[in-house]
Amino acid sequence: MATRDPHRYVFRSEWRLDAPADAVYAALHDVENYPSWWHQIRAARWIDDKSGELTCRSLLPYDLTFVIERDIEDPLDRVLRGKLRGDLTGESQWTIVESEDGHTVAVFDEDVTVSKGMIRAAGRIARPALKFNHGLMMRSGEAGLRKSLDAVPR
């Protein structure tokens, strides 16, 4: 029987937003601007035209720094996917769709392995705290994006 990798995390979050899908796509495409509305994204900078570096920190007392290399940028289907390397290794994807009730749903899928030594050493013991921390970070990001999009004239 195969054992589950205690360092691998698969997450899915859905943000329901009262904003046009194209505006949501544009905001999520602009990774460098994330720190202005997503407070757990402490720093974001471009490395080159396809990749950037993010530093994240939520409630737990550590930073996660990783590079995202853009794999897919599709404004027509509103899909953004990137490969991650650094303290997190794997991939993440945003899929933005208009729902039948007129809202926009931004779906975030992430499949990553934690590479940061201190967190890897904690293994299964830290797993519940890391999942809880990720949930808080995503809820804060949704609230921050909602507030940021509400400030944009329509």
User: What's the pLDDT score for residue 60?
Assistant: 76
CA torsion 68→70→72→78, rounded to 10°? Answer: 70
- For the purposes of burial, counting CB atoms within 10 Å of the CB of 24, is it exposed (0-12), middle (13-18) or buried (19 or more)? buried
Number of domains the chain contains: 1
Residue 33 per-residue DSSP state: G
- Whether 82 shows a pLDDT value over 70: the answer reads yes
Residue 103 within any structural domain of the chain:
yes
Domain extent, residue 63, equals 8-150
Residue 2 within any structural domain of the chain:
no
Q: What average pLDDT does this structure show over 48-61?
A: 90
User: What's the pLDDT score for residue 74?
Assistant: 97
**Residue 43 is part of a domain; what is its CATH number?**
3.30.530.20
Q: Comparing 48 with 129, which gets the higher pLDDT?
A: 48
Structure tokens, 97: 């769709």
Q: Comparing 121 with 4, which gets the higher pLDDT?
A: 4
- Whether 37 shows a pLDDT value over 70: the answer reads yes
- Whether 122 shows a pLDDT value over 60: the answer reads no
